[in-house]
Structure 1
Amino acid sequence: MKRFIQLLALLCCVTGVPPVASAQDPREPEIRRLEKLERESVLKGDSLPLFDKIWSPKMIVNTPANVVGTVEGTKAHFRSGDLHYLSFERNIEKIAFNDNVAIVMGGEVIKPQGKQINAGKVVTRRFTHVWQYGNNSWSLIARQATIIKVE
């Protein structure tokens, strides 16, 4: 038994997996799927899933430009090409649930192009998304993004 515990501890150290994993909320895979769909839709310039399914009509945004805006302003930027990326990666670090609200936090690395500020550069930022469940679906009701590095 002692040998088994030692082997388990060694395996945990090598793999980085804690010996006792916390249970995943059963709603988490759906939030991860929506996060991926949102990121891919922005990257592809595909407004249909964003406007009709993901972004709430009441969504508010604290933009990387340090401006608080609405979903209508974000849609206008999207339509005009102001949200055009050569690449867009998102790393989710934490998803937490509080009743019918999911909070997602992590980091993003983008490469803006076209007429965007920092076009052609690599921009690293922190983000927070707030999702709300209602009418049998999740929608993004708030987004915050802060630029932390431009290279």
Structure 2
Amino acid sequence: MKHLAWTALMLTGYATAEWKAANEQVTAAAKEPQIAAVLEAVNALDAALVKDNHAAFAAGLAKDLVVNNPQNGISISGATGRRNTAGLISYSSYIRSVEYAGMHGDMVLLMGDERVMPKGDSTLSGKEVRRRFTDLWKMEDGRWVLTVRQSTIVAP
């Protein structure tokens, strides 16, 4: 049934990005102003990915972003933004299940499970990919930006 849903998504050309709280702790945490603001930033970042809005995606990234990426490499100094602009980070769907949301000093830490559907020149294009993620967000120039990310493929 899940395969049929993904097939329908691909045939209609509908792109979607959303997150959901996986438990009551996350639901409660999402009411905290800083965490709520970061979850809005997550929505904007993920929507930029499915809409191929490279400028909006880059705007959600910290200047010093470091990513341990699903290709088992480290991306630093703008490499993630360049990979997005080159079409290597592009999805038709991005669904997150946030299992932890909390403050970590003055930053917000999110952890959980995500399901993406890569498209275009992306690795595994057209196949649902399940990943575990850890994201650390910080305030930079008056807005929340992704500063550290770890993402590991669990099952293609």
Asked if Structure 1 and Structure 2 have the same fold, meaning a TM-score greater than 0.5 normalized by the shorter chain, the answer is yes
**1:29 equivalent in structure 2:** 36
Unaligned runs of 5+ in 1: 1-15
Q: What is the CA distance between 1:115 and its match in structure 2? A: 2.2
- Is 1:83 aligned with 2:76? no
Unaligned runs of 5+ in 2: 1-22
- Is 1:123 aligned with 2:132? no
Structure 1 CA distance, aligned partners of 2:113 and 2:77?
A: 21
What does 1:61-72 correspond to in 2, within 5 Å? 61-72=67-78
Query: Which digits, 9 at most, give the CA deviation of each residue in 1:82-116, with x for residues without a partner?
Result: 11212111111111102311101111101112222
Structure 2 CA distance, aligned partners of 1:76 and 1:137?
A: 21
Which residue identity is paired with 1:50?
A: F
Task: For CA contacts below 8 A with separation 6 or more, give which structure has more relative contact order.
Answer: 2
TM-score, scaled relative to structure 1: 0.78
TM-score, scaled relative to structure 2: 0.76
3-state SS of 1:27 partner? helix
- Asked which structure has the greater CA Rg, the reply is 1
Percent of pairs with identical residues:
24
Q: What is the CA distance between 1:57 and its match in structure 2? A: 0.9
**In the alignment, which of 134, 146, 154 is matched to residue 140 of structure 1?**
146
**Count of aligned residue pairs for this structure pair:** 132
